[in-house]
Amino acid sequence: MSPIRQSVGLAVGQLDPTGFAEYEELASVTVGFAAAAVVVYLVGRLLVVPGVTRLVSARNRNNPTLQSATETYAHAFVIALATLAGVVGAGYASVLTDTALIVAALTLVVGVAGQEVIGALISGLFLVADPDFNVGDWISWPGGEGVVEAVDFRVTRVRTVNNETISVPNTELTTNALTRPYGRERYRITERVAYADDTELALRELVETAREDDRVLDDPEPTARILEFAGSSIGLQAEFWVESPMDVSLVDVRSQYRRRVKRRFDEEGLTLGPASGREVSGRLDVDLVGERGGE
Residue 190 reports pLDDT greater than 70: yes
Q: Does domain 186-268 have CATH number 3.50.50.60?
A: no
What are the tens digits of pLDDT across the range 129-168?
777 777 777 788 888 888 888 887 778 888 887 778 898 9
Mention every residue, 6+ apart, whose C-beta is less than 8 A from residue 165.
149, 157, 158, 159
Mention every residue, 6+ apart, whose C-beta is less than 8 A from residue 234.
192, 193, 194, 195, 197, 199, 226, 228
Going from N- to C-terminal start, the domains of the chain cover 18-97, 138-175, 186-268
Q: Whole-angstrom Cα distance, residue 158 to residue 137?
A: 10
Report pLDDT for 115. Answer: 61
Q: Which residue pairs from 161-170 have beta carbons closer than 8 angstroms and sit at least 24 positions apart in sequence?
A: 161/249, 161/250, 161/251, 162/251, 163/249, 168/141, 168/143, 168/144, 169/120, 169/123, 170/120, 170/121, 170/123, 170/124, 170/127
* Higher pLDDT among residues 136 and 17, named by residue: 136
Mention every residue, 6+ apart, whose C-beta is less than 8 A from residue 178.
133, 139, 140, 141
Q: Whole-angstrom Cα distance, residue 154 to residue 169?
A: 6
What are the tens digits of pLDDT across the range 66-78?
667 777 778 878 8
Q: Whole-angstrom Cα distance, residue 6 to residue 170?
A: 72
